[in-house]
Amino acid sequence: MHTSRTEPPAQGTAADLEHQKAAITSLGHELRALVEATVRTAASPDTLHRVADGVRHLTGQLTGRRRARAEIPEVDDFPAGPRMYSPVTGAGSPLAPPMHITPTPDGLIGRCVLGIAHEGPPGYGHGGMSAMLLDEIMGRACVAAGMPGLTVSLQMRYHRPVPLETPLSILGRVTGTDGRKIFVTGSVTAQEDPATELVTADGVFVTPDRRRTRVLFPDL
């Protein structure tokens, strides 16, 4: 029987989901290695064309049902848990560093390493990557504080360039609230020099009301 793109997937067992997550993680790891090799290579045009043909063949093997635009993957625990395809933290995403997040006494800390694929100025991360890392950790800090919120504003301050291929620490913590508004701060530092802030941010997030939540996330 044909399965439509919008039909929800069948629910698997816990073991099935863990097996799926392991496969997604494995593919994501190899795709990130491919992306990094792609942006670093000085291979000949013939080699690049040959690799492109091989990648096209591999893409053709990803057949079957495709997830709809607003559909939450079965392997995700939205909104509080891990998201396998997040461009920031997703183990299955070829775009993500990926950032690993753990709690601190007053917030959250993320750890990651930016590669050449995330380059802005030669040898340093793109400023947009810093913003994306901070937006993620600050939003997750709201969730960890029991106040899931959406970004209203994010004021960035770039103090020093963020080095590539260097272990980074990304901090986020809630500093106050005003009704449904949540005030959050964040920073990016090198793990070897945590006292020197490379990028800092002040953010305002807002907890959407039930009506707005239903509009934005009808599948919840």
pLDDT in tens, 6-54: 444 556 688 999 999 999 999 999 999 999 999 999 999 999 999 999 9
pLDDT per residue as tens digits for the range 83-133: 999 999 999 999 999 999 999 999 999 999 999 999 999 999 999 999 999
Length of the chain: 220
d(CA 49, CA 59): 15
Q: How far is CA 5 from CA 71, 149, 170, in A?
A: 10, 29, 37
pTM: 0.88
Q: How far is CA 116 from CA 12, 46, 158, 162, in A?
A: 37, 23, 20, 12
The pLDDT score that the predictor gives to residue 208 is 86
Q: Does residue 45 have a cis peptide bond before it, meaning omega lies within 30 degrees of 0? A: no
Of the CA atoms within 13 Å of residue 139, those in its CB half-sphere come to 18
d(CA 136, CA 86): 10
DSSP-based three-state secondary structure for 86: coil
Is pLDDT above 60 for 4?
Answer: no
pLDDT per residue as tens digits for the range 159-201: 999 999 999 999 999 999 999 999 999 999 999 999 999 999 9
